[in-house]
Structure 1
């Protein structure tokens, strides 16, 4: 059988580039990995881009989603090559939910993310100071600055996109709660994590793909190793 690997799905305002350090760490562990470049125009288009990337990947996969990427993997995770889902501070949505409206979040405190968002026509960007401060609260200044320089606006439709498939009902899932997150409130993460097969919690901010790529790679490698031996 073709060796399993990891397909990585980024969140809002980012691109496949944000997984570079994780991909390097996975390569050092002998794990094949690829990152999807999402159009960030609407959820259905992003889901299709991920399904197309799985077709190209062509091997059994652990599908990893960060933040908004969780909504994408929830819908794309019924692809026949997907054997496990990993959510990193991500939206593990249920039927009828979107990233702007989740049932568990109704009675939970908000973060300052809405304060940081800047609308321009159909696009939503981020305040150049508050946005990165929330996204990369525990990152080294050079890492945060380099990432912030590559952020891009996204279409407002993404915030109300509802997944047509809820793959975690049939596919095992692992949820990583980022306990110091300033973007997706940790209490909301814990509520969504109750839907996962298993949960771990890390003392970090919203972007472990940049701040602790080795920890992300270790977790993904462990899930792939279990997949390879079953």
Structure 2
């Protein structure tokens, strides 16, 4: 790989952080490709944790009612932050952006705002909503029936402004549901470690926002969708709908598709394969 290869920027999904790409980044570094992982708005070093999770004695009612410290974060902020991160990483030049899960909605917004800065948009089992469709509407589509994430919420998102998981729960069935939702094919020890790194609140405003897509904007950016056949967070039928809707809207720029037989988190279960897919892009 030449020193002037297009840089790669990795963006995580809801509840995760830049940490989730560490194994993939190691493989990409071995290829000699410049790459960096960043935190989404309201996550990682920008996250806020509700006081109810650390207050003792534990108050179950507060878990369901305390307004989230990230309630004000929306898709506009998340998209603007990603654009600034892309500008920094690419030094004003184009960057290949790999987004996972809800990070896909943020990538879509950033690519629509600044298509000249996104050399290639890679959706790793990510939300890729059609024009003017919020990601939350996709969550509720028939194609996503059977997903395990929404049943894991421990508060009304409309009331607290966030999608809240009870990551400190000692309910074994609940914790297994979280593993099944995100880390079904991940080594159990790694899955437990990942659960310990998740942020409990994901800003609802990111999923509530929508982006108007244009042919000269997002529609002009080369894109690849990586499907995951065992995904229990974004079901395979919904992944296929994203691809079909995009290709119908922008037939002159069809989606390249790569299939993985993985759960929602192939960056943990098969990081070498994810790195290989990314490494083959221009």
Q: What's the TM-score, normalizing by structure 2?
A: 0.74
Between Structure 1 and Structure 2, whose CA radius of gyration is higher?
2
Does the CA contact (< 8 Å) of 2:125 and 2:264 recur in 1? yes
In the alignment, does 2:23 pair up with 1:21? Answer: yes
Map of 2:189 onto structure 1: 142
Does the CA contact (< 8 Å) of 1:23 and 1:33 recur in 2? yes
Does the CA contact (< 8 Å) of 2:135 and 2:208 recur in 1? yes
Does the CA contact (< 8 Å) of 1:10 and 1:65 recur in 2? yes
> For residues 185-224 of structure 1, what are the structure 2 equivalents within 5 Å?
185-194=235-244, 195=246, 196-223=254-281
User: How far off is 1:188 after superposition?
Assistant: 0.4
Question: What per-residue deviation string (whole Å, max 9, x for no partner) do you get for residues 99-121 of structure 1?
Answer: 21139934552412211112272
Indicate the larger mover: 163-172 or 209-218: 163-172
Q: Are residues 131 and 104 of structure 1, via their aligned partners in 2, closer, same or farther at CA, if it must alter by over 3 Å?
A: closer
Q: Indicate the RMSD between aligned Cα atoms, in angstroms.
A: 2.1
Map of 2:80 onto structure 1: 48
Unaligned runs of 5+ in 2: 43-72, 168-174, 247-253
Does the CA contact (< 8 Å) of 1:9 and 1:69 recur in 2? yes
In the alignment, does 2:151 pair up with 1:93? Answer: no
Question: What per-residue deviation string (whole Å, max 9, x for no partner) do you get for residues 61-81 of structure 1?
Answer: 111110001101111124322
Does the CA contact (< 8 Å) of 2:148 and 2:178 recur in 1? no
Partner SS, residue 27 of structure 2? helix
Aligned length: 224
Greater fraction of residues in strand: 1
Does the CA contact (< 8 Å) of 2:8 and 2:96 recur in 1? yes
Partner SS, residue 198 of structure 2? coil
Indicate the larger mover: 103-112 or 136-145: 103-112
Indicate the larger mover: 212-221 or 33-42: 33-42
Question: What per-residue deviation string (whole Å, max 9, x for no partner) do you get for residues 174-222 of structure 1?
Answer: 1011001011111100111222521121111000111111111101110
Does the CA contact (< 8 Å) of 2:185 and 2:262 recur in 1? yes
